[in-house]
């Protein structure tokens, strides 16, 4: 059973923290929301936003995680989940079941999403393509 007292209170204000590169994908910027530290690595929450056009996208991959959701805050992104194109728009929430093979291949220049994953140190594993992906939309 989870000992609820083993986590810390955390409050990150909107004007605190900055978006930084060096995360999982070079073409995104990440803003840590302090949840990994507060939960001692049980959960991570960060904001992710577009930094440059999606020339190659993420490539086919899966995550070794127990739980993962993406909540689109601004803009849109196109994913392939297994063999299904999925348009995720501002206000949408996607639960990526554990191990689902997926590929983020297109997104708007203003794309920003909240991602919550457990555990915080989840692994990403490249996988063979499931199917062909449509070409990305050129940024204007």
Would 48 be classed as within a structural domain? yes
Convert the pLDDT of each residue in 4-43 to its tens digit.
568 999 999 998 889 999 888 889 999 999 999 999 999 9
Would 118 be classed as within a structural domain? yes
Q: Which of the four pLDDT bands, split at 50, 70 and 90, describes residue 3? A: low
Would 105 be classed as within a structural domain? yes
Lowest mean pLDDT among 4-8, 23-27, 55-59, 63-67: 4-8
> Which CATH number belongs to the domain containing residue 97 in this structure?
2.60.120.10
Convert the pLDDT of each residue in 75-117 to its tens digit.
999 999 998 999 999 999 999 999 999 999 999 999 999 999 9
Q: Count CB-CB contacts under 10 A for residue 124.
A: 14
Would 7 be classed as within a structural domain? no
Domain that holds residue 115: 18-126
- Main-chain dihedrals φ then ψ at residue 38, nearest 5 degrees: -65, -30
Indicate if the pLDDT at residue 138 is higher than 80.
no
Number of domains in the chain: 1
Contact 54, 27 (CB under 8 A): yes
Would 140 be classed as within a structural domain? no
Q: And the tokens for 105? A: 């291949």
Q: What b/e string do you get for 8-43 counting C-beta neighbours within 10 Å, with b at 16 or more?
A: eeeeeeeeeeebeeeeebebbbbbbbbbbebbeeeb
Residue of 129, 126, 105 lying closest to 53 (CA atoms) = 105
Would 10 be classed as within a structural domain? no
Would 59 be classed as within a structural domain? yes
- Main-chain dihedrals φ then ψ at residue 30, nearest 5 degrees: -125, 140
Would 8 be classed as within a structural domain? no
């Amino acid at each position: 059973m989870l000992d609820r007292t083993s986590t810390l209170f955390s409050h990150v204000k909107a004007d605190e923290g900055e978006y930084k590169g060096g995360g999982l994908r070079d073409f995104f910027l990440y803003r840590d929301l302090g949840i990994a530290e507060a939960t001692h690595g049980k959960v991570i929450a960060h904001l992710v936003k577009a930094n440059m056009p999606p020339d190659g996208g993420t490539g086919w991959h899966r995550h070794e995680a127990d739980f993962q959701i993406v909540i689109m805050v601004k803009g849109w992104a196109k994913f392939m989940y297994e063999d299904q194109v999925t348009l995720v728009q501002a206000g949408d929430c996607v639960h990526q079941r554990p191990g689902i093979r997926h590929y983020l291949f297109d997104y708007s220049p203003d794309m920003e999403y909240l991602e919550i994953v457990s555990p915080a140190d989840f692994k990403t594993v490249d996988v063979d393509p499931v199917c062909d992906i449509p070409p990305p939309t050129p940024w204007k």
